[in-house]
Amino acid sequence: MANIAIASDHAGFALKSELVAELGKLGHTALDFGPADTASVDYPDFATKVTAAVNDGKATLGVLVCGTGIGMSIAANKVHGIRAALCHTEFEARATRQHNDANVLCLGQRVTGVGVALEILKVFTSTAFEGGRHQNRVAKISAIEAKR
């Protein structure tokens, strides 16, 4: 189906491992950018790897996991062309794909259970952008990015 770039920091490592396995079950290829274990790392380094893969076209979508998902979403959204969304529910995952054309999903291992996270991942990776009235809004986001 699609290449999905994924990474975490040490606080999101266990959930990332579950998500990688789920991506395979869903028919996607997980491009795992690390880390390889729970040794302390800096989350911006891993956000950069995933966002580069999405922007370079090596991955259709990205997934980032840290303790809360907040740090990863802040770091990812600093990158031109990235629309990262921190999601806690399937509804948020569906809405951000349909309305915001989000291309990176952020999750928090310490705040979202594995079962819920797997369902969020399924929805995020299977929902398309609606375009239409939302396209103009996404274009305005891109215009903001260009001014930086």
Q: Is the pLDDT of residue 148 over 70?
A: no
pLDDT of residue 115: 98
pTM above 0.75, yes or no: yes
Examine the residue annotation and report whether 99 is marked as an active-site residue of this protein. yes
Question: Given this model, what pLDDT does residue 144 score?
Answer: 86
Q: What is the pLDDT of residue 71?
A: 98
Report d(CA 134, CA 11) in Å as an integer: 34
- Torsion from C-alpha of 48, 94, 65, 55, nearest 10 degrees: -10
Closest CA to 100 of 60, 55, 137: 137
pLDDT of residue 1: 87
DSSP 129: P
Catalytic residue among 10, 28, 66, 106: 66
How do residues 42-98 score in pLDDT, each as one tens digit? 999 999 999 999 999 999 999 999 999 999 999 999 999 999 999 999 999 999 999
Under DSSP, is residue 61 helix (H, G, I), strand (E, B) or coil?
Answer: strand
Task: Report the CATH number of the 3-146 domain.
Answer: 3.40.1400.10
- The secondary structure of residue 28, as a DSSP letter, is P
Give yes or no: 87 in active site. no
Q: Strand (E) positions, 1-132?
A: 3-8, 29-32, 61-66, 84-86, 104-108
Q: Is the pLDDT of residue 135 over 80?
A: yes
